[in-house]
Structure 1
Amino acid sequence: MPAWLPILKASLPYVTQIVTAAIPAFTRKESARTEPLVEKQIEELQAATTHNAESIRVLADKLSQTLQTLEGAATEMENRAARLQRIALFACVLAIIATGVALCALLR
């Protein structure tokens, strides 16, 4: 398993909190009167920021699911590798026994 995987898993739950905390910073504050064009641009930026924050949250959820799937696959591959290692060891022992039997047959 890659070394960055546990770090990413540990930091993933905080992405939603960061996004939730960042959204209020981009909301409009009622203050001095602004020009209509500037006001429209601010609204567009706020909408884009909100959309980006939602997209980041969805991506974080999908990344979390992907990491869980990768972890499951890694565990399964480790189990398969251990099983194949046992089979290979058994085959080596069987080959050594067969070689011994063949040598005994040749020496008689």
Structure 2
Amino acid sequence: MYTWLLPAVKAILPYVGDIVNAALPVFKSRKIDEDAATQEALLQKQINELQDVASLNAVHIKDLAEQLKQMVITLEQGVIANERRYRRLSMLSWIAIALSLTATGLLWRGN
């Protein structure tokens, strides 16, 4: 029924941990000292950490976007294949109905 769901989960699952780690910035030190020089150094360090996390996050988002693009292409191909199969089966069903009505009509005439 949801045959596309399992490959999607398998494709995204390896990146979940990295995404969570990148999305939750964890500063090495959270307390700001009263000293202005130490405070500026700490703030600069935290800014650098945020920039590193943001760039890593951008890389992961790009990877996920590529995987999503491939998943959409695969889903579209599956939809096209299913549409062809549906049309073929629908045509065969109408042919079978026409043949059965013809056979029923011939049987009624023969009796």
Structure 1 segments unaligned to the other structure (5+ residues):
1-35
TM-score for both structures, normalised by structure 1: 0.66
CA RMSD of aligned residues (A): 0.9
What are the within-5 Å matches in structure 2 for residues 40-55 of structure 1? Answer: 40-55=38-53
Match of 1:96 in 2: 94
Q: Partners in 2 of 1:98 and 1:37 — Cα distance?
A: 88
Partner in structure 1 of residue 12 of structure 2: none
- Which structure 2 residue ranges, 5 or more long, are not aligned? 1-33, 107-111
Query: What is the rounded CA distance, in whole Å, between the counterparts of 1:72 and 1:104 in structure 2?
Result: 48
CA distance in 1, matches of 2:102, 2:89: 20
Which residue number in structure 2 is paired with residue 38 of structure 1?
A: 36
The higher relative CO (CA closer than 8 Å, separation ≥ 6) is in: 1
Aligned twin of 1:62: 60
Runs of 4+ in structure 1 displaced over 2 angstroms? none
TM-score, normalised via structure 2 length: 0.65
